[in-house]
Chain A
């Protein structure tokens, strides 16, 4: 399995984990949110609950106090009722006895006196037996019957209570008004044993105007009640102590004056003595103020100083306070805030942990569901991979439910289509291969035919070029070859004439047989003819050569700025030197001296003028020849007007053709002295500078030849050539830098003939500019140049990062020069072949090299160029390295034999192999 496939698998796994991770993250975020909310809600809830619970506790405590107080009063009343009942019962017994004795008095069984006596005695007896002994007093409050005999006859009027009221007098008064009902009265006495008071009860017996009275001391009852009260309050205190608020909170009860009634720690203290830390008040005042608030608001926070385990001294406390209305007691609950809030985390845990657990469980369940849902997707992916790997036999499982199952089924359909396509493709490919084989055969045959034709054409082309070269060489060599004998002929003719004139002529003059002198004159004349004809031949050769050079583009132009006035003067002078014999012609030059300087080859312009003036002289017998020139809008306009024979209308254009000679007029009578090439050469020269030449004539009345050329003819030419050279062909671009126009022209010709595009620059500065603009493939550089010489130019080229790698070929008369960073040097005089070989080598077009050997010595390898014969010799001598052999030499070398003989060498064939099949 490739790495890419493994990556696919990993990606597939990560889908699951990504979902799980997302769930996990969301769970954690939810949990964190829930935690925050539960802490916030929880703490307010807990404190609310605590608040509420404490308030309930306060209310319960108040109720408890109130209830406890009510039950005490009930017990007291019950005891009192009990006592009253007992007293009343005793009194009713005594009353019953008295009524029995009254009955006997009425019946007469007993005298009133007797009856009374017996009754009183009887009552005294009975009283002694009763736990609550009744006694009887008469209306004067004298005791008439009593359990203790000593008391009988004692007057009770002076028996006063603590307020100074006569107790029994009051009792009798109430009993009389109550008419038979018991009068009960609680009296307290200023002294005596009954400090708690005495409960007296009296019954009035009207027939005998008697008061039955019994009494009971309240001391024992009150003592029992007080005991009950105490135990009840202790019970309350114990219960209050048991009440805890949070960890160490507690309840306190004080009376109205803040005396502590119940407190877990302190007793018998007044809370006024306790100041509240940090507040300008005491505890009591704070409790009173708090308790007076509305229910629910009756709470206050404060600080309390108390050292704890952690060394904290000041702790926030909270207090709830209220007043019990019946007793006026204050009930106070206090607790530490920190302890109250300790419940919050517990509360939070109780909420958060279960929810966290449910999130985890939910997440796990989700992961499992996801896994099972992704399973078919995983299988589908595996199938995809297999299919992508070319296994079309694999099918995705189709039993998955829902959309994934649908996808799998569709995918399988696709695989089946692919199978069909593959089979079809295989069939087609088979057919195609068959077709291809046929086609290749045809193409190969055709290609061979085309190649043969191309080769033939190339050969023909080469032959044509060879012919052209031969023609040029022929012209050049013929001109040279002609010149040498001409030089001899003309030179010797002059020498002979001179010798003749210096030696023989004086002798002949001295002894003058007439015909000797005539002979001498004829010899001189004939010698003159030889010289003249030699000169004519020389001119003809020069003209032919000039024309051939201009037409083939091999003319060497030496463009420079010159004064047309000077050149015209030279031309006129040249013609004045040799006026034709027998002609009376005036030669008039009307060339103004203030013409702007002209840029062109001065010699060629001179040639034009000499030709035109020469022609005019030739055809004019009488009259004048005028040379005029003027400057207009950057153009030089020149005319040569003569008063000669003129030119026929139909010949006005033909005169500029090669070898055209005027046939009309006096040329029939006198053979013209020209070559017939003059005007043609003029036309060609002016064309080169973008000029035109034409003839105007009225036959028989003279002719005017006019020409116009741009003042800056050379620039026009240069711009024109630059454009077409840079854009024209597609060969490598060579920049030729030489200040000598002739050499520049020569190099341009040679390079252009070899198929290169050529740019030229007259000095280093121009060369740098052109090189930057056109990025030539190679630069040929002269050393001795104005403005910027070759050395500096080469250095600047090397310093420019864009041009540093452009090969530089120095073309110089100076030969090797270490100072120039050149890639190769060609010495002047320039040999065409050497120059082209150097250019090809620098442009790495070494195919033409006869053979090359390269050492195997790694980076320092040297390259040698050798001929096939030398190669064979070097190989025999045990050469070790790489031999590069052009294809066209391979056969000649018997490579197989060489390869067998020397194991160490490496032979590489390259270049234009004729036909691979032939090897």
Chain B
């Protein structure tokens, strides 16, 4: 079964970097990478595509990452979605907050593509 990974990130380059990094997973898994450019779009994508893993940026226009995360976690159908938050360094409080509201893990910008890849692999294994 094809696994879906959703990247919600307003910065086009970061989105692209993440997408390219994660494409490497295609060697190993049956995986589909979906992207969304803001919170609203991301939420809509989560509802329609039902991805297993979501990389979610926090600081985004329209709907921020926390709100997306909370909405997902309070929705009975969506709450099993694994969410990894992308935070900026120096916002440790935000990280903990993210974990409180149900995020699985967080990654600090600037992140290492290898680490992202390793985490994604781990998560896909977990969701089997």
What residues of chain B lie closer than 8 Å to A484, measured between beta carbons? 11, 13-14, 109
> Contact: B93 with A479, CB < 8 Å?
no
Which of chain B's residues 47-74 have a Cβ closer than 8 Å to chain A? 59, 64, 66, 70
Given contacts A479-B88, A495-B20, A542-B89, contact A487 B96 (CB under 8 A): no
What residues of chain B lie closer than 8 Å to A160, measured between beta carbons? none
- Answer yes or no: B21 CB below 8 A from chain A CBs: yes
In whole Å, how far is A206's beta carbon from the nearest beta carbon of chain B?
189
- Answer yes or no: A40 CB below 8 A from chain B CBs: no
Who on chain A is nearest to B100 by CB? A813
A828 to B113, CA, bound (A): 30
4 tightest CB-CB pairs across the interface, nearest first?
A: A742-B93, A487-B110, A488-B13, A491-B17
A483 to B88, CA, bound (A): 8
What residues of chain A lie closer than 8 Å to B29, measured between beta carbons? none
Q: Can you name 23 A-B pairs with beta carbons within 8 Å?
A: A476-B90, A479-B88, A479-B89, A483-B109, A484-B14, A484-B109, A485-B13, A486-B110, A487-B14, A487-B109, A490-B110, A490-B112, A491-B17, A491-B112, A495-B113, A534-B110, A538-B110, A542-B89, A556-B92, A740-B93, A742-B93, A743-B97, A829-B97
In whole Å, how far is B30's beta carbon from the nearest beta carbon of chain A?
21
> Contact: B90 with A542, CB < 8 Å?
yes
What residues of chain B lie closer than 8 Å to A370, measured between beta carbons? none
- Answer yes or no: B34 CB below 8 A from chain A CBs: no
> Contact: B113 with A480, CB < 8 Å?
no
Who on chain A is nearest to B110 by CB? A487
Which of chain A's residues 474-517 have a Cβ closer than 8 Å to chain B? 476, 479-480, 483-488, 490-492, 494-495, 498
Contact with B along A813-829 (1 / 0, CB 8 A): 10000000000000011
Who on chain B is nearest to A601 by CB? B92
What residues of chain A lie closer than 8 Å to B97, measured between beta carbons? 743, 813, 828-829
- Answer yes or no: A152 CB below 8 A from chain B CBs: no
Contact with A along B7-19 (1 / 0, CB 8 A): 0000101100100
- Answer yes or no: B40 CB below 8 A from chain A CBs: no
The listed residue with most A CB atoms (<10 A of its CB), out of B59, B66, B93, is B93
- Answer yes or no: B94 CB below 8 A from chain A CBs: yes
In whole Å, how far is A645's beta carbon from the nearest beta carbon of chain B?
31
A546 to B92, CA, bound (A): 12
Which of chain A's residues 783-817 have a Cβ closer than 8 Å to chain B? 784, 813
Given A485-B13, A556-B92, A829-B94, 7 other A-B residues pairs in contact with their CB atoms under 8 A: A486-B110, A491-B111, A542-B89, A740-B93, A740-B96, A745-B93, A813-B97
Who on chain B is nearest to A744 by CB? B93
Contact with A along B88-128 (1 / 0, CB 8 A): 11101110110011000000011111100000000000000
Who on chain B is nearest to A745 by CB? B93
Given contacts A490-B110, A495-B21, contact A483 B93 (CB under 8 A): no
> Contact: A483 with B110, CB < 8 Å?
yes
A542 to B109, CA, bound (A): 11
A492 to B110, CA, bound (A): 11
> Contact: B90 with A742, CB < 8 Å?
no
What residues of chain B lie closer than 8 Å to A486, measured between beta carbons? 109-110
What residues of chain A lie closer than 8 Å to B20, measured between beta carbons? 495
Chain B interface residues toward A at CB < 8 A = 11, 13-14, 17, 20-21, 59, 64, 66, 70, 88-90, 92-94, 96-97, 100-101, 109-114
Is chain A's binding surface mostly helix, strand, loop or mixed?
helix
Contact with B along A731-752 (1 / 0, CB 8 A): 0000000001011011000000
- Answer yes or no: A528 CB below 8 A from chain B CBs: no
Residue from the list A479, A492, A558, A813 in contact with B90, Cβ < 8 A: A479
Interface size class on chain A is: 20 to 34
Contact with B along A427-452 (1 / 0, CB 8 A): 00000000000000000000000000
In whole Å, how far is B21's beta carbon from the nearest beta carbon of chain A?
6
> Contact: A488 with B14, CB < 8 Å?
yes
Which of chain A's residues 573-588 have a Cβ closer than 8 Å to chain B? none
Which of chain A's residues 392-431 have a Cβ closer than 8 Å to chain B? none
- Answer yes or no: A545 CB below 8 A from chain B CBs: yes
- Answer yes or no: A69 CB below 8 A from chain B CBs: no
What residues of chain B lie closer than 8 Å to A742, measured between beta carbons? 92-93, 96
- Answer yes or no: A116 CB below 8 A from chain B CBs: no
- Answer yes or no: A122 CB below 8 A from chain B CBs: no
A538 to B88, CA, bound (A): 11
Who on chain A is nearest to B102 by CB? A813
A784 to B96, CA, bound (A): 13
> Contact: B17 with A813, CB < 8 Å?
no
> Contact: B92 with A558, CB < 8 Å?
yes
A483 to B96, CA, bound (A): 20
A495 to B114, CA, bound (A): 9
What residues of chain A lie closer than 8 Å to B94, measured between beta carbons? 829
> Contact: A483 with B89, CB < 8 Å?
yes
What residues of chain A lie closer than 8 Å to B101, measured between beta carbons? 813
In whole Å, how far is B33's beta carbon from the nearest beta carbon of chain A?
14
Which of chain A's residues 526-540 have a Cβ closer than 8 Å to chain B? 534, 538
A177 to B113, CA, bound (A): 205
A746 to B94, CA, bound (A): 11
In whole Å, how far is B4's beta carbon from the nearest beta carbon of chain A?
22
What residues of chain A lie closer than 8 Å to B66, measured between beta carbons? 828-829
A558 to B95, CA, bound (A): 13
A416 to B86, CA, bound (A): 94
A829 to B58, CA, bound (A): 11
What residues of chain B lie closer than 8 Å to A479, measured between beta carbons? 88-90
A440 to B17, CA, bound (A): 74
Who on chain B is nearest to A829 by CB? B66
A745 to B20, CA, bound (A): 38
What residues of chain B lie closer than 8 Å to A538, measured between beta carbons? 89, 110
- Answer yes or no: A549 CB below 8 A from chain B CBs: yes
A542 to B13, CA, bound (A): 22
A484 to B90, CA, bound (A): 14
What residues of chain B lie closer than 8 Å to A498, measured between beta carbons? 113
What residues of chain B lie closer than 8 Å to A556, measured between beta carbons? 92-93
In whole Å, how far is A836's beta carbon from the nearest beta carbon of chain B?
18
Who on chain A is nearest to B20 by CB? A495
What residues of chain A lie closer than 8 Å to B64, measured between beta carbons? 829
